[in-house]
Amino acid sequence: MPGVRKREWGGLEGEVMRRLRERDRPVSARELRASFSEPIPAYTTLMTTLTRLEAKGRVERVGDSPRKVSFRPVRSSEEEASETMTSALERASDRRAALLAFAGNLADDDVAALMDAFGSSDHSR
């Protein structure tokens, strides 16, 4: 049914990024569209989404010809998550409080991974 939203706001961007990262090479909008099952976004919708992702610095265009353009992610999902967390921390008025609130939401295995990264053998909170 035209005009009925089938995804959450920003859901298509996330889905496009996930599908781009599954490939080991740049992907055209047509190839990307073929990877969707219902609901299948229109080609123009995908191009608009890819153009917006490019403007946000999340994907880059590959190819000189407008008819043979492909896209690939600029960063891995891990790099993007790190950048998002860093950006959120920079916007916080109290960095320490923000860090403590974030740490309070971590699972035990996440805490253990951070402790390992900092070279500590004590994994208790």
* Residue 94 in domain: yes
More confident residue, 47 or 7: 47
* Residue 1 in domain: no
Query: Looking at the structure, do residues 52 and 93 belong to the same domain, yes or no?
Result: no
Here the CATH number for the domain that contains residue 19 is: 1.10.10.10
More confident residue, 122 or 109: 109
User: Of 117, 12, 112, which Cα lies nearest the Cα of 125?
Assistant: 112
Q: What pLDDT was estimated at residue 39? A: 86
Mean pLDDT in residue range 113-121: 83
Tally of structural domains, the chain: 2
* Residue 103 in domain: yes
Rounded Cα distance between 115 and 2, Å, is 51
Q: What residue has token string 């265009």?
A: 61
Per-residue pLDDT of 19-70, as tens digits, reads 999 998 999 999 999 999 888 999 999 999 999 999 999 999 998 777 789 9
Could you tell me the pTM of the whole model? 0.69
Query: Looking at the structure, do residues 48 and 95 belong to the same domain, yes or no?
Result: no
Per-residue pLDDT of 68-97, as tens digits, reads 899 999 999 899 899 889 999 999 999 999
Residue 112 has pLDDT above 80, yes or no: yes
Query: Looking at the structure, do residues 57 and 83 belong to the same domain, yes or no?
Result: no
Q: What pLDDT was estimated at residue 121? A: 54
Give me the count of residues in the chain: 125
Q: What pLDDT was estimated at residue 23? A: 92
* Residue 102 in domain: yes
Q: 48: domain range?
A: 11-73
